[in-house]
Amino acid sequence: MKVNLGLDVGSVSTNLVALDENRNVIHSSYLLTAGRPVEVVQEAVADLQRALPSCSVQAAGTTGSGRELAAQVLGADVIKNEITAHAVAAMSVQPDVRCVLEIGGQDSKIIILQNGVVTDFAMNTVCAAGTGSFLDRQAQRLGIDIKDLGRLALASRNPVRIAGRCAVFAESDMIHKQQMGCGVEDIVRGLCEALVRNYLNNVGKGKAIRQPVLFQGGVAANEGMRSAFEEALGYPVIVPEQHKVMGALGAAIIASRLETNESRFRGFDLSERRFESRGFECSRCPNACEVVELLMEGSVVARWGGRCGRWERSDAAGA
């Protein structure tokens, strides 16, 4: 069986998707990055081999904030930015999609499309309010399983108003509402509504949000957030079946479009290979750039970090 791989390496999760020759998802994995991107990529490939022991890789693509590093570890044939990958995945689910709302573990983004072309986008990488990690923290503080957060939000009958512009203010406001005796369901619903307001007023500010709208990313599993978006927008919001791994799905679809005779994929013995990174300061000009090297079995396979390009080294194609 020939498969095309997509790998999305983010600060919180690392996702891998395998497509068959008809671009059907036949395997997906969602792993926590936990500050170990190289080891988690190796683990994801090992999971794939256990799930599909007889498959061969036709092409592989990477995306996400760790796409450059992941491409070198995996042996990717193409590297694509997150906007392109999520847009491609959204169109594979809903060809006439006009807006993608994506909220991940550490950032959020909005993508505007028209006739299958990305016409506008915005990202929020500054404030944690509204991201998956913030919701996780608040669920832990309230003593709630993150999986129950959405159910509790939908059970609310009198949601309270929470300040959502800042993660610190939102948490302080939630504590204040608890001290006033407000119910957990009403506080959770108020939090979801506050985070949606924050998203639309910041990431979505000035954007033409038109139907169909897809909600992607790990936070899309939260029914309370989906309901709050629908209430704020006034129309239904679609959550794809593969919402947690849409970036990886887009990278896999892009890889499947390549015309390659042989993939650069390093093989299923990837978990047995030894990778390490090291850095040095270039002294050839006053910029004093910090250059990072990635080594596999003691040999340099990639370098990045320099401003002039003197030290750049990468074998994968893309942007």
User: pLDDT tens digit string along 211-240?
Assistant: 999 999 988 989 999 999 999 999 999 999
> Domains of the chain: which residue ranges?
2-94+248-272, 99-239, 275-314
**Is pLDDT above 60 for 242?**
yes
Tens of pLDDT, residue by residue over 156-183, are 988 889 876 676 777 788 888 888 888 8
**Is pLDDT above 50 for 317?**
no
Q: How do 13-19 and 2-9 pair as beta strands?
A: antiparallel
Exposure b/e, 96-125, CB count within 10 A at least 16 = b: ebbbbbbbbbbbbbbbbbeeeebeebbebe
Are 2-94+248-272 and 99-239 the same fold in CATH? yes
What is the structure's pLDDT at 117? 95
**What share of the chain in percent tops pLDDT 70?**
95
Q: What is the mean pLDDT of the chain?
A: 89
Tokens of 11: 């600060």
Cα 28 from Cα 61, distance rounded (Å): 14
Please state which of the four CATH numbers 3.30.470.10, 3.30.1320.10, 3.20.20.70, 3.30.420.40 is assigned to the domain occupying 2-94+248-272.
3.30.420.40
Tens of pLDDT, residue by residue over 113-169, are 999 999 999 988 666 666 777 888 888 888 888 888 889 999 998 888 987 667 677
Backbone φ/ψ region at 102: left (φ over 0), alpha (ψ -120 to 50), beta? beta
Q: Look at the domain 99-239 and name its fold.
A: Nucleotidyltransferase; domain 5 (3.30.420)
- The answer to whether 95 touches 77, Cβ cutoff 8 Å, is no
Q: What are phi and psi of 195, to 5 degrees?
A: -70, -35
- To the question of pTM greater than 0.85 for the whole model, the response is yes
**Is pLDDT above 70 for 11?**
yes
Tens of pLDDT, residue by residue over 276-300, are 888 889 888 888 898 888 899 888 8
What is the structure's pLDDT at 140? 85
Mean pLDDT of 41-56: 94
